[in-house]
Amino acid sequence: MEVLCHPNPVLKQHAAEIDVSTDADLRSLVRTMAEAMYEHAGVGLAAPQIGVAKRVIVFDVDERLSALCNPVIVERSGETLVDEEGCLSVPGISVPIERSEWVVCNGVTLDGKEVTLRADDFLARVLQHEIDHLDGVLILDRLQLDDRKEAVKAYNALMEAERTD
């Protein structure tokens, strides 16, 4: 399964909320997303990354696959941490991204159950990253202008090297 890469315009779109009770293709979509995530050695993936403009994410933190529909961060810590992040849609680079230290996220399971997750550390970072994708935001968009220019330059050089190999 292909993961869309920057600068694909689909990655900049805002994904639509879904109705879990009527979306007949939801379980198949989640299965496809998980396969793509694992195939590309990721820890999270949002539906827009495979060209589906729906508010669905999958993630595997602590060796447990989870899926969440219509996730929304409803609370976040005032404290932030900066850490290196990579992205399956911007392969080959990692950049320092500032994220909230913890978040509270509401969403819906595949069974239609409303859930609230309080996430710290790595899981908080993964949720924020994947929810960004649902809003059309990439890690490149979180960088200061000069840092973004350098990251895009490095990414473009990697992509060009792959095309010539």
**Exposure pattern of 103-116 as b/e (b: 16+ CB <10 Å)?**
bbbebbebeeeeee
Sheet holding 56-60, edge to edge: 44-46, 56-60, 65-76, 102-108, 114-120
The three-state secondary structure class of 38 is helix
Residue 2 catalytic? no
In the set 130, 150, 160, 162, the catalytic residue is 130
Other CB atoms closer than 10 Å to residue 45's CB: what's the count?
A: 28
Q: Which helix (H) or strand (E) is 157 found in, with range?
A: helix 145-164
Residue 96 preceded by cis peptide, ω within 30: no
| Under 8 Å between Cβ of 127 and 143 | no
- Give the residue numbers marked as catalytic: 130
